[in-house]
Amino acid sequence: MKERPIICRDHEVRAILDGRKTQARRIVKPQPVWGVLPDGYGPCWHWQPKSWGSHWVGFSENNNGQECLNGHCPYGQPGDRLWVRESWYESPMTGECKYKADGEVIGWNPRPSIHMPRWASRITLEVTGIRCEQLGHITEADARSEGMKEPSCGWSPDNSAVDAFCKTWCDLYSMESLDANPYVWVVEFKMVTP
């Protein structure tokens, strides 16, 4: 079992703590490119992660190349753990940690989530599943598993959880990113702590 960090925004942290968020989508970097194997067989994904050079991933119509890519997910494999990085405060007097997602007003600026050390993290998640798919393949059930039920995320009885997810995605990344329909890691998890 390995432990890795995952950055979560305030609305994601609230959804995890409420038990509404059990999935996270993160863009696959670099994006796989469809191609043909050098020996003429194919189709396949050409995938070039920095850590181990160029790699041709065999394609199967049953799994869309997914089984091969899954072994290289930066968020681990089922059974691994993720510790959540979020915006936080540390009292200079007591060393006590407070978290921006809790909505507490503190007299100093929050530290960005990227700088949160492991010891300050209050949430640990266990990975229960990993898959790779295009962003546009998200289902209504998946969007709800992304925590899209909170009104501040754009959800209401008048629109779908998928609509709310797309709105949130555009707010975070851009409309161009949504239109590009990138491949994403779908990380399924359950909370182990707080």
User: pLDDT tens for residues 156-178?
Assistant: 556 788 888 998 899 888 888 88
| pLDDT given for residue 158 in this prediction | 61
Judge contact between 165 and 138, C-beta under 8 A.
yes
CATH number of the CATH domain containing 33: 2.30.130.30
> Does 179 or 155 have the greater pLDDT score?
179
Domain extent at residue 67: 3-193
| pLDDT given for residue 160 in this prediction | 83
Judge contact between 157 and 164, C-beta under 8 A.
no
pLDDT in tens, 129-158: 998 888 999 999 999 999 986 554 544 556
Domain count, the chain: 1
| pTM of the entire predicted model | 0.79
The per-residue pLDDT of the chain, averaged, comes to 80
User: Per-residue pLDDT for 86 more than 70?
Assistant: yes
Residues with Cβ within 8 Å of residue 150, at least 6 apart in sequence: 11, 14, 15, 20
